[in-house]
Structure formats: C-alpha cells, structure tokens
Amino acid sequence: MPYLVPETVSEALVLLRDRRPVVVAGCTDVLPTRRQGDRTDDILDVTGLSDLRGITGGPQGWRIGAATTWAEIAAAPLPPAFDALRQAAAEVGAIQIQNAGTVAGNLCNASPAADGVPPLLVLEAEVELASAAGRRRLALSDFITGVRRTARAADELVVALHLPQPPTDAGGAFVKLGTRSSLVISIAMVAAVVRVAGGRIAAARLAVGACSPVARRLPAWEAALEGRSLDAVAGLRPDPAHLAGLAPIDDVRATAAYRTEAVRDLCRRAVMRAVASATGGSDAR
C-alpha cells in the first residue's frame, strides 16, 4: 500500500500504467467514504505536480490545473463570466474543504450533486486527460458519464480543464439550494452564463445539478431566453418542457416534484444574477 508522490506528470503516468493506483488529490471525497476495515490500494497523490496547479488565461482561453483547489478558484481574478464558478467554489463544503478539495477531484468523483459541474458546463469546459500513450480532450458533458462514472481510463490522469475565453459582455451566477446555510449537499443548483447586448439577452447557458444522474444544460430554455428583454428576466421561469432531460429523484433532502418546481425558480434567479454580473449591477434577487 505505497503512497506515491510523483514529481512529474510523466512519472505519474508511468505509475498509473504500471500500478493502477487510486488517484487522490484533496482527499475530501476519498477519505469520508472509507469504511471500517477497508483495504486501500496504492495511492497516487497528484497535488505535488506543478503542471496540475494554477490558473492561466489568455486570448485562447483559460487553463485550470486539475489539482487547483476551490479556495484558489474562489480567490482568482477571473472575468465576470466566471462568477458562477467562483461562487460555486465558495459553496463547496466549507473553507476546510475548499482549501483541500480540487476542481478535477470534484469532476472525477462524479457525484450528481457536485457543485463544480454546472458552472463548468456553462463555461463549456473541456477536460484534458493524459496517459503514457498520449493526451486527449473531452467536453465535460462527455467526460462524466453517470453517477460516480467518468470516461477516464484507469491509466489516465486529468491534468487540466480548458475553458474558452468568454466575451467581455458576459456574466455568470451560481444559485445553490440546500437545507442549511453551509456545509450542505445541494438539493439543486443552477449555474448560468449570459451575454447581454442592447438591453437584451444575446445568449444564455444554464446547467442544473442534483436533478439528474449528471448535471445537465438546458438547451431549450437557453434558446427561449435568447433575445429576451432585460426588463422581463425577473419574470422568466422555464416551463417543465424546457427542463427536458432532468430526472430528479426523491431522497432524504427533497422530493423529485419539489426539485422540479424549485429548479424553475432557481433558473429565474440565476439568470437575474448573471445579468447583474454581466452589467456590473448588483444582485437583484
């Protein structure tokens, strides 16, 4: 049961190919699920890989290292379109979790209630995977394939997320609904990015988490929002038809029926706040 701490990505990839260890980063999902008497496989800790850390941006877009923590994202000087991501970063668990938990860890854990997924979906993130055999990129929506399932092969490592440079007139927001104020698994959450032009919504992207096995975009509602006057957004709630693809369940946190209704209003609030983010205004709840 060695604890492997590679110093370079290539070292890590060889270890992955040859020993198939459990990849860990912040360990905020791995350790809570450990049960009395569980045997642990080899552990590969990737947080020491400098290639997996940090946030860089340029005209070609943004790169977020896989092992970047939520606290680092929350504090990063990102454009307003990334507000959904930064706001989500500040709501993942609490500060103890945000200081340790990483963005790629959140994706690889593939919980339906992962707070990081909806913002990254609306930011059209791509996941860069590396193995000893080479590298590939997948759209985030193709990367997470189900509850606790991803497209990552056992010899692959998520090294980074890539996000296109958003337009300067875009803003974002993240709205989380839980039963208490912090340290709470979401009942539902909505991330939004909107572009605003000429007093209208030029484009909108929304994604909903905790209401389907994998968080999902809402293409029908995104299309319906396009061209709507900003004066009307406070009253814009999707109809059930716009929520096609969501499949909420009953669990200890809420009922499916409640989730569906709540999401309609969370969408409204997320768009209002994203508009405020885009226009430099305040959060007009």
Partner 1 sequence: MRDEANAGTTRFTLNGAAVAVSAPADERLSDSLRERLGAREVKIGCNAGDCGACSVLVDGAVVCSCLTPTRKAEGRRVETVAGLVATDPVAQALAQRFQDHGAAQCGFCTPGMVTASVALLRQDPAPDEAAITRALGGVLCRCTGYRKIIDAVASVPPALAGAGAAGHAGAAIRRLDGAPKLDGSEAFGDDVAPPDTLEILVIRSPFPRAGFRFGDLDGWLAGQAGMAAVLTAADVPGRNVFGVIPAFADQPAFAEDVARFRGEAVAAVVGTPETIRGFDPATFPVTWQELPPVMTPAEAEASGAPLLHEGRAGNLMCKGFVACGDAGAALAAADVTVEARFTSGFVEHAYIEPEAGFARVVDGRVEIHACTQAPVMDLESMEILLGMDRSRIRIVPTAVGGGFGSKLDISLQPYLALGAIKTGRPVRMAYSRTESMQSTTKRHPSDIRLRLGATRDGILKGCDFQGTFNTGAYASWGPTVANRVPVHASGPYRIADYRAEARAIHTNCPPAGAFRGFGVPQAAIALESLIDELAGKLGLDPLELRLRNALENGVPTVCGQVFSQGVGIRACLKALRPAWEAERAAAEAFNRDATGPLRRGVGVASGWYGCGNTSLPNPSTIKAGIRADGAIVLHQGAMDIGQGANTVITQIFATALGVPVAGIGLIGPDTDLTPDAGKTSASRQTFVSGNAARLCGAALRAEVLRAVNASDQALLSVADGAITVDDGASRHRIALGPLAADGDGYVFAASGHYDPPTKPLDENGQGEPYAQFGYAAQLAVAEVDTRLGTVRLLRLVAAHDVGLAVNPMLVEGQIQGGVAQGIGMALMEEYIPGRTENLHDYLIPTIGDIPPIEPIIIEEADAHGPYGAKGLGEHVLIPTAPAILNAIAHACGVRMTSVPVTPAKLATALAGD
Binding site for partner 1 (CB under 8 A): 1-8, 11, 24, 26-28, 31-32, 34, 36-40, 42-43, 45, 47, 71, 90, 93-97, 99-100, 177, 179-185, 187, 252-255, 257-258, 261-262, 265-266, 285
Displacement of CA 38 from its chain's centroid (Å): 29
Cβ atoms of 11 and 21 within 8 Å: the answer is: no
For partner 1, the closer CB: 170 or 267: 267
Q: Specify the pairing of strand 61-65 against strand 43-45.
A: unpaired
Which residue, 9, 8, 6, 48, is CA-closest to 26?
A: 48
Cβ atoms of 44 and 20 within 8 Å: the answer is: no
For partner 1, the closer CB: 40 or 56: 40
For partner 1, the closer CB: 184 or 203: 184
Calculate Rg over the CA atoms of the chain.
19
Q: Please state, in angstroms and rounded to a whole number, the distance separating the CA atoms of residues 20 and 42.
A: 8
Shortest Cβ 83–partner 1 spacing (Å):
17
CA-CA-CA-CA torsion sign (242, 246, 248, 254)? negative
Q: Please state, in angstroms and rounded to a whole number, the distance separating the CA atoms of residues 3 and 241.
A: 50
Shortest Cβ 127–partner 1 spacing (Å):
24
Shortest Cβ 138–partner 1 spacing (Å):
28
Structure tokens at 219: 């293409």
For partner 1, the closer CB: 185 or 224: 185
Shortest Cβ 237–partner 1 spacing (Å):
9
For partner 1, the closer CB: 39 or 60: 39
Shortest Cβ 37–partner 1 spacing (Å):
3
For partner 1, the closer CB: 51 or 124: 51
Shortest Cβ 266–partner 1 spacing (Å):
8
Give 88's DSSP letter: H
In the block, tokens 């604890």 appear at 3
